[in-house]
Amino acid sequence: MGFTSEIHDYQLLSKIATNDKHGENSPYFDGWKAYDRDPFHPTKNPDGVIQMGLAENQLSFDLIEDWIMENPKASICTPEGVNQFKHIANFQDYHGLPEFTKGVANFMSKVRGGRVKFDPDRILMSGGATGANELIMFCLADPGDAFLVPSPYYPAFVRDLCWRTGIQIIPVHCDSSNNFKITREALEEAYQKAQEDNINVKGLIITNPSNPLGTTLDRETLKSAVSFINEKNIHLVCDEIYAATVFNSPGYVSVSEILQDIESINLDLIHVIYSLSKDMGLPGFRVGIVYSYNEEVVHCGRKMSSFGLVSSQTQHLLGAMLNDDEFVDGFLKESSRRLGKRHSVFTKGLEKEGISCLPSNAGLFVWMNLRKLLKEQTFEGEMMLWRDIINEVKLNVSPGSSFDCKEPGWFRVCFANMDDETVEVALRRIRAFVGKETTPSSSPKKPVKLKRWNSNLRLSLSSSRRFDETVLSPHNMMSPHSPLVQAT
């Protein structure tokens, strides 16, 4: 396949297929590549790179495993459950299996402490939260329209919200001066500027609990956001996929609760995105949910859900699981406890080394403050530090610039996708690194095994500075059945 045929190929493809809005060409992939080539294993590869860039919740699998073992009827491939097979295999109604939508509504309500009720008929399915975010954009905005997004934000929003939909993101920058809170002034300013630039702002998307910050929005901020969109008559999309990862006070306030408190909100503007990938640790099940208070959006979105329906087998299993109140209550409590414990162990370990994180009460990660380790307070400095962390400390963490953070020196570090021993190893390595960095004498650095890709860790200031945290599923190298996926 020569050069000429590649050009030939390229011309035959669409703009969407050949632009880089998918975000995977970002130089930050080198961190992933480093992990892929040299993945950590406690016994087989103790010097390998530890994956701390993937926000996965692996702490409570055993609870789900136990439930499945105890409930063979829920699975259609057991003697107890196989009689449901014919019905399930044939079921492709866009409304979803009634047990499934009821179960999801039940689960969502319990996650919010029972303070809100959700209507199963408003639940739309999609291919994971990724599909849900894209679907709601298709329903709300036209190509060229814009959505305000408080930064720092999940890097793959560029792909999910913009790639095929043609809409654009307008970041609303938040900074550490007020712990990255979203202020009304910042929202107004971003909106005004868009008006001046003749950009049609269709809505605001907020992630609550926040990725990457790990914080929940306080009631006042949420109220302010709701009144802002109501005043401007634009949509509010609340990405609440981390809702059940809240492990500490202040408690969680979801947008649905706010709606009960404030008068005169136009409900047609409010939409919630949900998923089971983070809260239940089931990203492989591809369960994305769009919940809208707008009838038209429900109607239209339901038709569009054909592009990402949840497999009926999954619906059947989860329908049984999520309607088991005893299980759900127990799971939510225990999962939250384990996350809190892990968060505490990790942050305390970091504090011992003088590393602080943004105080957080949710999420599967911490927003680590490494500003004092930067050689220069610039993004180049951040890049240099990041390279060191990957090459020497052998941790794959995510630099703040990939989240469009305006202050250099912040890093998102995931802590819920590993066991306790691995956390200890990670902390040990950080200890060693910080010790080295803060002592003026330069000790000889350990030889880096894989040198050839170092030079590729260059800072690229192009707008395609995004990466997908979940392109790869490489963590389970122990299984002979799931080979490592190569980054493309």
Partner 1 sequence: MTQTRSTATETDDQKNRSPSSGATGMKLIVPLQGVVQGRGGLLLGSLIPCALFYFLQLYLKRNRSKNSSNPPSPSASSSNLPELPRSSSRTNLSSRGSIGRVPVSSLANMIAKPDSSPYYIGLERVFLDPYDPVNNPDGIIQLGLSANKLCLDLIEKWLSANVKESLIGTDDVSLSINGIAAYQPFDGTEEMKMAMSNFMSLVLGGSVKFDPSNIILTSGGTPAIEILSFCLADQGNAFLVPSPYYPGFDRDFRWRTGVDLIPVYCRSTDNFSLSITALEQAYSQARKRGVKVRGILFSNPSNPVGNLLSQDMLHSLVEFAQEKNIHIISDEIYAGSMYGSEKFVSIAEVLDLEYIDKSRVHIIYGLSKDFALPGFRVGALYSFNESVLAAAKKLTRFCSIPAPTQRLVASMLSDQRFVQEYISTNQKRIREVHKEFEAGLNKLGIKCAKSSAGVYCWADMSELIRPYSEKGELDLWEKFLSVAKISITPGSACHCIEPGWFRICFTTLDLEDIPLVIERFGRVVETCKSSG
Catalytic residue among 30, 36, 239, 279: 239
Catalytic residue among 241, 265, 389, 430: 241
Of 192 and 233, which has the nearer Cβ to partner 1?
233
SS3 267: helix
Catalytic residue among 28, 154, 242, 252: 154
Of 47 and 89, which has the nearer Cβ to partner 1?
89
For the CB of residue 313, give the shortest distance to partner 1 in the complex, in Å.
Answer: 5
Q: Is 278 a catalytic residue?
A: yes
For the CB of residue 215, give the shortest distance to partner 1 in the complex, in Å.
Answer: 24
Distance in angstroms (rounded) separating the CA atoms of residues 409 and 172: 19
* Residues 50, 426 contacting (CB under 8 angstroms): yes
Distance in angstroms (rounded) separating the CA atoms of residues 256 and 276: 18
Residue with token string 């200031």: 461
Of 138 and 453, which has the nearer Cβ to partner 1?
138
For the CB of residue 430, give the shortest distance to partner 1 in the complex, in Å.
Answer: 25
Instruction: State residue 238 phi and psi, 5-degree precision.
Output: -105, 110
Query: What six digits make up the tokens of 469?
Result: 């945290």
For the CB of residue 406, give the shortest distance to partner 1 in the complex, in Å.
Answer: 27
Of 267 and 450, which has the nearer Cβ to partner 1?
267
Of 414 and 430, which has the nearer Cβ to partner 1?
414
For the CB of residue 227, give the shortest distance to partner 1 in the complex, in Å.
Answer: 13
- DSSP labels, 391-439: III-EE-EEGGGGT-SSTTEEEEE-SSS-HHHHHHHHHHHHHHHHHHHS
Q: Is 239 a catalytic residue?
A: yes
For the CB of residue 418, give the shortest distance to partner 1 in the complex, in Å.
Answer: 12
* Residues 144, 167 contacting (CB under 8 angstroms): yes
Buried b (16+ CB within 10 A) or exposed e, 140-179: bbeeebbbbbbbbbbbbbbbbbbbebebbbbbbbbeeeee
Look at strands 410-414 and 201-207 and give their pairing.
unpaired
Give the strand order in the sheet containing 356-357: 356-357, 365-369, 410-414, 398-399
Catalytic residue among 21, 202, 278, 394: 278
* Residues 453, 34 contacting (CB under 8 angstroms): yes
Of 290 and 434, which has the nearer Cβ to partner 1?
290
Catalytic residues: 154, 239, 241, 278
